[in-house]
């Protein structure tokens, strides 16, 4: 299972701490979210946390051997046209491209663009999701993020409203069989929670622990798919260059 984290610029050892903590909690990988304004190379340096010496895009850590660090980018803008331009730039250079939602216009753009891997935080701020947008996400293969951060770290009315939105999202995703990912949105290693802890939260709030675990695993499946597509052997779906080239 994978967690998608926000890491500060390289040099303070935060990514290594993330990797070590995630490995001890039972995660097999991390997706590092950057932004177009903060190049990923400023968050982690290629080879800086590589334990295996491979060049296939998998990165480990001396503190956490075998942990897979996935280079991602999170586009953050309320302007759909600006988001489209950012996706144009990032699609060829990052394994995962995430668009942060939170407004109806941005949510609609993200689920209608098949180049977007994940729509993050769709119900934050003024954003909402309805059956039309969830069906579009299913048609275009855009994963919808189930954001557990407010469940874990908010309180009062904000937490109650988020729980209501999360249950509605769960019903829509299940009904339309839309793809989804799950994250607790940690911004430092202390905010990481083990998969079993997040599963317990899922059982407690009524969406199911196994359902949340599938969303955690989906980050890894998505990264593996994109790496295969980006490989030199891939030509098109169902056609790959092999030994009989």
pLDDT category at 40 given cuts 50, 70, 90 is low
Return the structure tokens found at 39. Answer: 């190049």
Highest mean pLDDT among 18-27, 30-39, 152-161: 18-27
- Residue 215 or 124, more confident: 215
Ordered structural domains, the chain, with CATH: 2-240 (3.20.20.140)
Residue 13 has pLDDT above 90, yes or no: no
3-state secondary structure 158-218: HHHHHHHHHHHHHHHHHHHCCCEEEECCCCCHHHCCCHHHHHHHHHHHCCCHHHHHHHHHH
| pLDDT number for residue 152 | 92
Distance (Å, whole) CA 117 – CA 223:
9
Local structure of 40: helix, strand or coil: helix
| pLDDT number for residue 192 | 95
Tell me the longest C-alpha to C-alpha distance in the chain.
Answer: 62
pLDDT in tens, 117-142: 999 999 887 878 999 999 999 999 99
Nearest-5° Cα angle at 137, 132 to 141: 155
Task: List the end-to-end C-alpha distance of the chain, in Å, as a whole number.
Answer: 35
Distance (Å, whole) CA 27 – CA 22:
5
Could you give the percent of the chain with pLDDT greater than 70? Answer: 79
Q: How much is the average pLDDT of 157-178?
A: 92
Distance (Å, whole) CA 25 – CA 60:
15
pLDDT category at 16 given cuts 50, 70, 90 is confident
| pLDDT number for residue 49 | 34
DSSP 78-143: S-HHHHHHHHHHHTTT-SEEEEE--SHHHHHHHHH-TT--EEE-TTSTT----HHHHHHHHHHTPE
Give the burial class of 217: count Cβ atoms within 10 A of its Cβ; 0-12 exposed, 13-18 middle, 19 or more buried.
middle
| pLDDT number for residue 244 | 45
pLDDT category at 195 given cuts 50, 70, 90 is very high
**Residue 45 in contact with residue 7, Cβ under 8 Å?**
no
Q: How much is the average pLDDT of 58-66?
A: 46
| pLDDT number for residue 65 | 54
| pLDDT number for residue 137 | 97
**pTM, full prediction:** 0.83
Mean confidence (pLDDT) of the chain: 83
pLDDT category at 55 given cuts 50, 70, 90 is very low
| CA 234, chain centre distance (Å) | 23
Distance (Å, whole) CA 30 – CA 60:
10
Q: Which H or E element spans position 147? A: strand 143-147
pLDDT in tens, 86-122: 999 889 889 999 999 989 999 999 999 999 999 999 9
| pLDDT number for residue 154 | 87
């Amino acid at each position: 299972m994978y967690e998608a984290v926000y890491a500060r610029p390289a040099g303070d050892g935060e990514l290594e701490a993330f990797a070590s903590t995630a490995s001890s909690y039972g995660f097999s990988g991390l997706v590092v979210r950057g932004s177009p304004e903060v190049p990923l190379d400023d968050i982690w340096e290629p080879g800086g946390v590589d334990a295996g010496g491979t060049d296939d895009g998998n990165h480990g850590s001396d503190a956490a051997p075998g942990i897979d660090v996935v280079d991602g980018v999170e586009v953050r803008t309320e302007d759909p046209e600006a988001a489209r331009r950012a996706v144009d730039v990032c699609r060829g250079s990052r394994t995962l491209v995430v668009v942060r939602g939170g407004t109806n216009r941005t949510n609609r753009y993200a689920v209608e663009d098949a180049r977007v891997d994940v729509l993050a935080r769709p119900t934050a701020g003024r954003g909402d999701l309805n059956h039309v947008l969830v069906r579009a996400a299913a048609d275009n293969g855009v994963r919808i993020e189930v954001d557990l951060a407010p469940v874990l770290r908010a309180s009062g009315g904000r937490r109650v409203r988020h729980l209501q939105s999360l249950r509605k999202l769960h019903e829509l995703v299940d009904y339309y069989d839309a793809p989804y990912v799950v994250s607790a949105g940690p911004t430092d290693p202390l905010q990481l929670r083990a998969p079993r802890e997040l599963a317990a939260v899922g059982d407690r709030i009524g969406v199911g622990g196994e359902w949340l675990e599938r969303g955690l695993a989906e980050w890894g499946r998505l990264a593996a798919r994109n790496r295969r597509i980006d490989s030199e052997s891939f030509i098109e779906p169902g056609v790959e260059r092999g030994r009989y080239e």
